[in-house]
Structure 1
């Protein structure tokens, strides 16, 4: 009749995560993607140590998916300029190294990529904290001279 405690906890965690995503700033969303990639890489490391090849492959595939479909796809190369292009190259490198780690069962490569993920996450976290601590940007409107209820000049265009 009732679900198990585990299914209830999973449902709660899913709702909590979805709520967090909906309320998150763009910077926070990027940090969350890095968190997911790091978790997947950590799992791949443990599965490699335990010789669970199938689980290792799934974890590495998940990390690659987060990097390619989340982080890399979110780059705007037109607006981001050289930084976006550099990040794109770095994300490609990370995915290629993860593929190599999968093929060779190489823990050192997983450690290398986990370190890169941590560094990038830290940089985005610093950006997010800077945005939170800065004053909001407002339009230069003189409140004393602006009356939203006053009549405004209108133009009458007639054909």
Structure 2
């Protein structure tokens, strides 16, 4: 018999009902979470946990890469940045270097904050568009 976990059910529902823009925001937040867990693991000299969390951050970067629509110039630029981030994550994992993770964290935070602004602007435009028709 499966144990009902309301938090897990909420998380699953959040992901399955989220708009694509919200999913991207969730990916950025998840990546930041795993980077911070990896940094803590480096401080605690827990190599296995560091490796697991960096790999989770890499998986998120890979997901962001495969969802890019390459017909847009901005997507090509983002692909280069994601590739750079992925290489830096690998380097950090090999060297146990949290300063590299700090650099990656700054980049992801900037992407996340910019993406959040885009979502907010999009919502405002949708709201203003609907408000003008009433």
Does 2:57 align with 1:66?
no
Q: Structure 2-normalised TM-score?
A: 0.89
- 2:126 and 2:52 map into 1 onto residues whose CA distance is 43
Instruction: Give aligned pairs, total.
Output: 129
Report the structure, 1 or 2, having the larger helix content.
Answer: 2
The correspondence of residues 87-126 of structure 1 with structure 2, limited to 5 A, is 87-126=78-117
Deviation at 1:47, TM superposition (A): 0.2
* Structure 1 spans left out of the alignment, 5+ residues: 139-159
The correspondence of residues 134-145 of structure 1 with structure 2, limited to 5 A, is 134-135=125-126
| Cα-to-partner distance string for 1:69-127 (whole Å, 9 max, x where unaligned) | x211110102xx21000000100100100000011111110000011110000111111
Does 2:17 align with 1:23?
yes
Secondary structure at 2:126 match in 1: coil
- 1:13 and 1:72 map into 2 onto residues whose CA distance is 29
* Structure 2 spans left out of the alignment, 5+ residues: none
- 1:135 and 1:27 map into 2 onto residues whose CA distance is 14
- 2:111 and 2:117 map into 1 onto residues whose CA distance is 10
Q: 2:76 aligns with which of 59, 79, 85?
A: 85
1:13 aligned partner = 7
Deviation at 1:22, TM superposition (A): 2.2
